[in-house]
Chains A and B, each alone.
Chain A
């Protein structure tokens, strides 16, 4: 599979920059391009929205954010955009997606993530959000995470997961 330069760049940076004085130079050397070219492409990918965020990725768990909950809600399809936007404007919400319902077995179409220091904090946030966003009438479930079996940066087509 032939990769474009942008794809090669994304693969090379997906697991993070080396923490040294000239990190972009180090990545550019790997890719056999110039540092200036790498910076220019990264800025373009950021502007185009291919890179949604470029920064320090903090792990939630070791810092005491032990309760990580996925909340699923069954809202009318015609209101999913409005309610999704409302929810995602809340600072405690990170990640908010529409996903397809799975019939009666799993009727939810709106998903969001809330991280908190403990269960009580997440539950309190959710109670408040339900009221503020007018979600109280809709069926929802909080799914707290229990065990983490695997967590690592994304794998991309044509590349293998770098650094194991």
Chain B
């Protein structure tokens, strides 16, 4: 069960974490507590994997090229193909989804041609075709992810 302070630490600093010399102190002052308390709470969130990090979400395609890639893989081959895909350091967020098109991952590369080569290489090594789905437009307005607390 999370305390009121812990909920504030999780919810209120998703968009704008202080960019100041002592950010945890600034948060502590805003929430009327001590810096050590805030640091310890975030360390615990990280240890318990409640948060993945305190840091940036970087706008796609600012560095190099990236695309969402999707494949329709037979169930009996899925784990093998998923492991092959995950073995690339250029891959993150590799998920199975409930659909005939069942393997979804994000692929990044230095530039577009290298990205295309990687897709071709994955197709060739896996024996399955891949759909390359780069982002054409981003409509997301930065509202963040509000947790819906339900303490009832």
Contacts and interface: CB of A to CB of B under 8 A. Distances in A.
Contacts of B144: 53, 55, 94
Contacts of A98: 135-137, 139
Nearest to A90: B143
Contacts, number: 241
A100 B92 CA distance: 21
B21 A25 contact: yes
A149 B148 CA distance: 26
B53 A57 contact: yes
A88 B83 CA distance: 33
Nearest to B145: A94
Given A10-B58, A157-B109, A56 B17 contact: yes
Given A15-B55, A17-B54, A57-B52, A154 B108 contact: yes
B48 interface: yes
Interface string B7-49: 0011001111101111111000000000100010011011011
A70 B101 CA distance: 12
Contact of A97 (B17, B59, B90, B137): B137
A152 B16 CA distance: 21
A17 B55 contact: yes
Chain B: interface residue count, which band?
35 or more
A81 B140 CA distance: 11
A14 B135 contact: no
Given A88-B141, A149-B96, A51 B59 contact: yes
A7 to B, nearest CB: 6
Interface string A86-123: 01110101111111101001100001000101000000
Contacts of A106: 70, 101, 131
A14 B56 contact: yes
Given A59-B50, A97-B138, A161 B89 contact: yes
Nearest to A116: B148
B19 A56 contact: no
Nearest to A24: B21
12 contacts: A10-B56, A21-B25, A97-B137, A98-B139, A99-B133, A106-B101, A106-B131, A149-B96, A150-B85, A150-B94, A154-B108, A157-B63
Given A106-B101, A153-B52, A157-B111, 4 more contacts: A15-B53, A45-B56, A154-B106, A157-B110
